[in-house]
Amino acid sequence: MALLFGSVVINYLDRANRPLPRRFWEDRIRSFKMGVVFSALGWSYVFCQVPGGWLVDRVHPRRLYAILIALWSVATALMGFSAAWPCYSALRLAIGALEAPSFPINNRVVTTWFPERERATAIGFYTSGQFVGLAFLTPVLMSLQVHFGWRSVFISVGCWASSGPRPGTLSIAPADL
């Protein structure tokens, strides 16, 4: 349950994670480019949701989550090294695509591992991570940006996400997968 909750926290933290280099604002980046940067994660998330569900039906959740969390963490950290809006947008596209299977995985885990009478509670628990990520950690991200610069936000979130528990390291019986 903690893994599902943590993945949702990170998933929603990535959505709120949008600091831009000051020069993006100083150069008065065009509205179109800003729209591309801010919506890129959403585009790929939407387009990868169904293929992500298909993948979840074919790959063990524990293995798939380990791969996805590692990859989206790397993509998030790399945003801290991005130098131009097309690179920034491409990395947001990658994060959206890599996070798209998260909720299908979570739903598969809950329907497989929990008795029917406990599923709503389990879903309520892990979905509460959405607002932990948005409400409680957004001020932390803003503090990082103010004190250490915009790059620190991405690097910190990417490193934090990649250092958490790995689904492949949890003691879950293979038969439960």
Is residue 21 very low, low, confident or very high in pLDDT (cuts 50, 70, 90)?
low
Q: Is the pLDDT confidence value at 7 over 90?
A: no
What pLDDT, on the 0 to 100 scale, is given for residue 169?
Answer: 47
pLDDT tens per residue, range 41-82: 889 999 999 999 999 999 999 899 889 988 988 998 998 898
Which letter, b or e, does each residue of 138-153 get, where b requires 16 or more Cβ atoms within 10 Å of its Cβ? eeebeebbeeeebbbb
Query: Is the separation of the CB atoms in 62 and 114 below 8 Å?
Result: no
Find the Cα–Cα–Cα–Cα dihedral 91, 93, 97, 103, rounded to 10°: 100
For the whole prediction, is pTM greater than 0.85?
no
